[in-house]
Structure 1
Amino acid sequence: MKKNNRLVLLVEIALMAAVGVILDLLSLRLWPNGGSISLAMVPIFLIAFRRGAGPGLITGLLVGVLQPLLIAPFYVHPIQFILDYPAAFMLVGLAGLFHVSVNTNKRKRLTMIAVGCVVGSLFRLVSHFISGVIWFGDMAPEGTPVALYSFLYNASYLLPTAVVSIIVLGLLSNTAPKMVHYE
């Protein structure tokens, strides 16, 4: 990769990470123990679809590292912190495994966006799920299996977040495909 191209990539990663953190600050925080409906994953998905999984992973990692600096993070153990912040957002970048060219037909582009967003969101869910099972099982209502509680709690905000992300990225892909897909 030429030096200019690397610089452009680094700037794109930095900008998308900053936008992700800002969008997270504007999120809908209704859950008592963390989690929110947010557009914070959209910039991570954007860079992942535009540049691939590597830049997507880096952007997600940056969002996951910067986000707790601006909000009061909820954590009880260093490994739980890593699972719920840096690792969870970094895994969203795996959506980049499904990036396609701007020249790909519209239907395939939209399908790959949906699949990539689902995969990235599922990997983030797995990270939060593991954290919930290990460290937050005592919050499960009596008689509720800890794994079920962790899954339902985390899916309750990640599912709507994934759906909103798919809609936003689908609209962007249709109106500004070069913003979402590589040439």
Structure 2
Amino acid sequence: MSDARVRLRRLVESAVLIGAAVALSFVKVWEMPQGGSVTLGSMVPIILIALRYGTGWGVTAGAVAGVLQFIIKPEFYHPIQVLLDYPVAFGALGLAGLARGHARLAQAWLGSLAIGGRFLAHLVSGVVFFAEYAPAGQSPWVYSAIYNGTYLLPEAVLTGALLMALLPALERALPTGVHSTQ
């Protein structure tokens, strides 16, 4: 396959998966009062991009998905908050690319741990911009960690389970496997 076709295929696959991630982000299993939710696997498509094409491509795809989510349903409090809660948080999902080339179980669970990067971005945003919601006397760090962990921990478990189910099928379906070197 020519280089142009390989690049086009990568771009089209990524666009479809980014679209799936954004669409799935609106299929909410459970929603938190000040934002954040457990979705029907909305982070899985971005993690698949990272596992297939590497960390850099995955970070870019995640950032694009975050920007699209902001455009569709913006929650704006401050420009830095927007950066932390959208492109930085979702771009961090691309860190799953670090698990590329590992065994399937490692890809699924290390891939879902990329959600830890998203957690850190939301944690900082919560401390800086949403500390007012913390109960009196509670550290904003503790409040933000509890708040964001309440939805991101179940999302990480669901993501890991979905990856374990999907990775074998993707390895069979994709001619170059999940971790394409092209």
How is 1:96-175 mapped onto 2 (pairs within 5 angstroms)? 96-100=97-101, 108-118=103-113, 120-175=114-169
Deviations 1:107-139 (A, max 9, x none): x22123211211x11100000000000111110
- C-alpha deviations, 1:75-129, integer Å up to 9, x for none? 31011011001110011011011111xxx7xxx22123211211x1110000000
Number of the residue aligned with 2:67: 65
In structure 1, C-alpha distance between the alignment counterparts of 2:76 and 2:71, rounded to whole Å: 13
Give the deviation of 1:51 after TM superposition: 1.3
1:91 matched to which residue of 2?
Answer: 92
SS in 2 for 1:173: helix
Q: Structure 2: any 5+ residue segments left out of the alignment? A: none
What is the CA–CA distance in structure 2 between the aligned matches of 1:2 and 1:176, rounded to whole Å? 22
Q: Are 2:38 and 2:151, in contact at CA under 8 Å, matched by a contact in 1?
A: yes
Percent identity of paired positions between Structure 1 and Structure 2:
39
The answer as to whether partners of 2:111 and 2:160 remain within 8 angstroms in 1 is no
Q: Is the 8 A contact 1:13 1:58 kept in 2?
A: no
Aligned counterpart, 1:37: 38
CA contact (8 A) 2:170 2:178 kept: no
Amino acid in the other structure paired with 2:22: V
How far does the alpha carbon of each residue in 1:2-23 deviate from its partner, in whole angstroms, 9 at most, with x for none?
A: 1111111111111111000000
State the superposition RMSD in angstroms: 1.6
* Deviation of 1:29 (Å): 4.4
TM-score, reference length from structure 2: 0.90
Scaled by the length of structure 1, what TM-score is found?
0.90
Tell me the equivalent position of 1:181: 178
- The aligned counterpart of 1:77 is 78
**Aligned pair count?**
175
CA contact 1:33–1:74 (8 Å) conserved in 2: no
Amino acid at match of 1:181: V
SS in 2 for 1:127: helix
Q: Distance in 1 between matches of 2:130 and 2:179?
A: 41
Gaps of 5+ in 1: none
